[in-house]
Structure formats: structure tokens, C-alpha cells
């Protein structure tokens, strides 16, 4: 696909009510970050990826998010799962994604296209490089005509085979692919080791490219935030772990002080792309951690996106079409 489809272009232009040329949309990552505040991760385990006729998250939910105080939506894409034989996004998912992007922009959201296939990429770096190149060779030109509130995130949580040196090589290659059709689009990139804050010093970005929004994820301490999670060996047997002592709060502040220092030293805006507490944690401690972290991030000037709206960690009950009120109150107090 050489450029943005005619149908998608019409949706985008109608959604944004744009009359200016594309060049007038260009803004820096600092500008975009300043317009982002509270966000939500969506689609990760949605039936969207199995049958787009049964998806839980639908275009109307952008208005639900907006009404609750969220202005940023991170769309977790699993496009590699059903890619075409040559590795491109399949037509069904791309058409459904067009509708979601147009609806999100129309609702006034900043929308992030997050290639969330980190588990596939963690197994084989060379295979990951090829898959990502094919994906972004299609996605980038397809969405090139979209407003600047549409952001591209090259890959969620690089880890495993994507060590820091390998990831730095891949991210630069993918950034070059994207810049071929989107020279000023803001691209979201995080460090290795699953976007860990501690790996920020290893992140090697092109100094001249100022349209990069750096992302980090935060789930510390894991024994508390991921207690009872079967996929986390160090926390799966933990139960009833509490959080909120003065020492624990101070540790959280120190972690984000270090992120802010890195941000200031490198003149790069930072986006907290994921944070959350698994639902097996005690609810009072869970909301205490969420509220404290959200306020700390905001005080440090970092926009954020909660993990996640649906499934586990859920902030929203899709069966009842209602917010999980304690979680919502912690994230976006009335």
C-alpha cells in the first residue's frame, strides 16, 4: 500500500475538520506530550483480534473515556498474529483499525498505535526485525495523512532476544522506515528490558530527531503489583501483599526523580505508557498505589496510560458497561 487509503483519508479529514496542509500539522514531541495527560490501554485481549464482529471495545467507548477524564488512548496492536503471507497487516484488521483511529481522533483523543507483539519479537531478533519492517512499511504510509495526534509506537516492551544493543539497532532502522513517509510524526520509543526505567541510560536515539516521545513502564515492586499473576514466577505465589509505607512511597518518588533527571539531561519528553496492579492484590492497597503513582507522574510532568481498560487489571466492566469505580477514582479523582 503506497499511501493512505482514500476511505481512511476521508474519515480522518472529517474527524479532524482539517483544512490546513499536512505541513501545518507538524509539531514536536514536546508539543504532543504537553497535550497528553491521562490515558488508557485498550484492545490487548479483546475479541477484536479473533473476530471483529465481537469486539468489546467499540468506537463509542472513546466518548466514554473522554467523559471520564482520559485524553489519550494506546491501542495495543497484535497485527503479527494474523499477518498476510508476506508479513503485512491483514485487510480485515486494517479496515477495523481505520475506523477506530478515525473515531478516536474525532473524540479528541491522542491515539497511539502500539505494535504490541513483544512476545513474538522476544524469541528471535532477526525475525523480529523483518516482521517489524514489514508492518511499519505498510502502517506508516497508510496513516501518513493522519493528524499529528496519531502517534506510532515501534514495539511494546522489547526484551529477550532484543537486548539493549540489538534493540537500539532495530529502533533506528524502524525509525528510518517510518520517517520515509512520516518525517515529522511523533514516534514513541522505550528502552530495552520491557521499557524499564532503569534501562533509560542504555537507550540510544538519533540526536537530531526531536519528534520522539520516550516511554517507560512501571510495575514496582513486582511482588506487590503482580501478586498472584501466574505468568510471573517471582510473584505468582504471593498473596495479600500490602503497599503504602513511607519507605515504599519514597522509593517510588526516587524512581521518578531519576526518570525526570534523564528527561531533562537528554531534553526528551517522557510518557508513562503502562502501570497497574493485578486484581488479586487487596483493593485498598491497589487503589493506594495507583493513586500515588498517577499523582507522582503528573507532578513530574509525565502523561500516563493505565494498564488496562479490559480483561485483567480492568478499570471498566464491559459486561455492565460501567467503570470499576474504585479504580477510576484512584486514576481520575472526581
Q: How far apart are CA 228 and CA 45, in angstroms?
A: 19
Dihedral angle sign, alpha carbons of residues 27, 194, 74, 273: negative
Cα separation values, 184 from 23, 253, 277, Å: 9, 33, 35
Q: List the one residue out of 274, 12, 8 whose CA is nearest residue 148.
A: 12
Q: How far apart are CA 292 and CA 288, in angstroms?
A: 6
Instruction: Please report the pLDDT score of residue 51 as a whole number.
Output: 79
Q: How far apart are CA 21 and CA 103, in angstroms?
A: 21
Instruction: Please report the pLDDT score of residue 23 as a whole number.
Output: 36
Q: List the one residue out of 270, 244, 246 whose CA is nearest residue 257.
A: 270
SS3 label, residue 269: coil
Instruction: Please report the pLDDT score of residue 247 as a whole number.
Output: 98
pLDDT digits (tens, 9 = 90+) for 109-139: 999 999 999 999 999 999 999 999 999 999 9
Cα separation values, 29 from 186, 189, 248, 316, Å: 6, 11, 32, 30
Q: Tally the domains of the chain.
A: 1
Q: List the one residue out of 190, 191, 196, 123 whose CA is nearest residue 160.
A: 123
Read off the C-alpha cell for 129.
Answer: 526485525
Integer Rg of the chain from CA: 19
The 8-class DSSP code of residue 81 comes to G
Q: How far apart are CA 291 and CA 286, in angstroms?
A: 9
Residue 239 lies inside a defined structural domain of this protein: yes
Instruction: Please report the pLDDT score of residue 26 as a whole number.
Output: 54
Question: Does residue 4 contact residue 270 with C-beta atoms inside 8 Å?
Answer: no
DSSP 106-168: HTT-EEEEEE--HHHHTT-HHHHHHHHHHHHHHHHHHTTTS-TTEEEE--SS--TT--HHHHH
Q: List the one residue out of 57, 96, 93 whose CA is nearest residue 78.
A: 93
Residue 1 lies inside a defined structural domain of this protein: no
Residue 210 lies inside a defined structural domain of this protein: yes
Cell numbers 523483518 label which residue?
A: 130
Residue 238 lies inside a defined structural domain of this protein: yes
Residue ranges of the alpha helices (H) in the chain?
Answer: 6-16, 29-34, 61-67, 91-106, 118-121, 125-142, 164-179, 192-195, 222-225, 246-266, 283-299, 325-331
pLDDT in tens, the chain (334 residues): 334 444 554 454 444 433 223 333 358 999 999 999 999 999 999 999 987 678 999 999 999 999 999 999 999 999 999 999 999 999 999 999 999 999 999 999 999 999 999 999 999 999 999 999 999 999 999 999 999 999 999 999 999 999 999 999 999 999 999 999 999 999 999 999 999 999 999 999 999 999 999 999 999 999 999 999 999 999 999 999 999 999 999 999 999 999 999 999 999 999 999 999 999 999 999 999 999 999 999 999 999 999 999 999 999 999 999 999 999 999 999 8
pLDDT digits (tens, 9 = 90+) for 154-209: 999 999 999 999 999 999 999 999 999 999 999 999 999 999 999 999 999 999 99
Residue 175 lies inside a defined structural domain of this protein: yes
List the CATH number of the domain containing 208: 3.20.20.80
* Residue span of the structural domain in which 280 resides: 6-331
Amino acid at each position: 500500500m503506497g499511501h493512505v487509503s482514500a476511505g481512511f483519508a476521508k474519515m480522518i479529514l472529517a474527524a479532524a475538520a482539517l483544512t490546513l496542509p499536512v505541513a501545518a500539522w507538524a509539531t514536536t514531541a514536546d508539543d504532543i506530550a504537553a497535550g497528553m495527560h491521562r490515558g488508557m490501554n485498550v484492545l490487548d485481549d479483546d475479541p477484536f483480534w479473533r473476530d471483529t464482529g465481537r469486539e468489546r471495545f467499540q468506537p463509542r467507548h472513546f466518548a466514554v473515556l473522554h467523559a471520564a477524564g482520559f485524553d489519550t488512548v494506546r491501542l495495543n496492536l497484535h497485527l503479527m498474529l494474523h499477518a498476510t503471507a508476506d508479513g503485512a497487516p491483514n485487510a480485515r484488521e486494517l479496515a477495523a483499525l481505520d475506523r477506530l483511529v478515525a473515531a478516536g481522533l474525532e473524540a479528541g483523543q491522542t491515539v497511539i498505535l502500539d505494535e504490541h507483539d513483544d512476545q513474538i519479537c522476544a524469541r528471535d531478533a532477526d525475525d523480529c526485525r523483518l516482521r517489524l519492517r514489514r508492518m511499519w512499511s505498510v502502517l506508516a504510509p497508510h496513516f501518513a495523512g493522519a493528524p499529528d495526534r496519531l502517534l506510532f509506537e515501534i514495539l511494546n516492551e522489547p526484551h529477550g532476544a532484543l537486548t539493549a544493543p540489538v534493540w537500539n539497532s532495530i529502533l533506528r532502522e524502524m525509525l528510518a522506515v517510518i520517517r520515509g513517509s512520516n518525517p515529522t510524526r511523533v514516534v514513541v520509543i522505550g528502552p530495552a528490558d520491557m521499557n524499564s526505567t532503569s534501562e533509560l541510560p542504555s537507550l540510544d536515539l538519533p540526536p537530531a530527531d526531536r519528534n520522539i516521545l520516550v516511554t517507560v513502564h512501571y510495575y514496582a515492586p513486582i511482588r506487590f503489583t503482580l501478586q498472584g499473576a501466574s505468568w510471573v514466577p517471582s510473584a505468582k505465589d504471593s498473596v495479600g501483599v500490602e503497599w503504602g509505607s513511607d519507605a515504599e512511597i519514597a522509593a517510588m518518588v526516587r524512581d521518578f526523580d531519576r526518570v525526570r533527571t534523564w528527561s531533562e539531561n537528554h531534553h526528551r519528553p517522557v510518557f508513562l505508557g503502562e502501570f497497574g496492579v493485578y486484581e488479586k492484590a487487596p483493593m485498598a492497597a491497589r487503589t493506594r498505589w495507583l493513586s500515588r503513582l498517577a499523582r507522582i507522574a503528573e507532578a513530574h510532568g509525565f502523561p500516563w496510560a493505565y494498564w488496562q481498560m479490559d480483561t485483567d487489571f480492568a478499570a471498566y466492566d464491559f459486561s455492565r458497561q460501567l467503570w470499576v469505580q474504585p479504580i477510576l477514582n484512584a486514576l481520575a479523582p472526581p
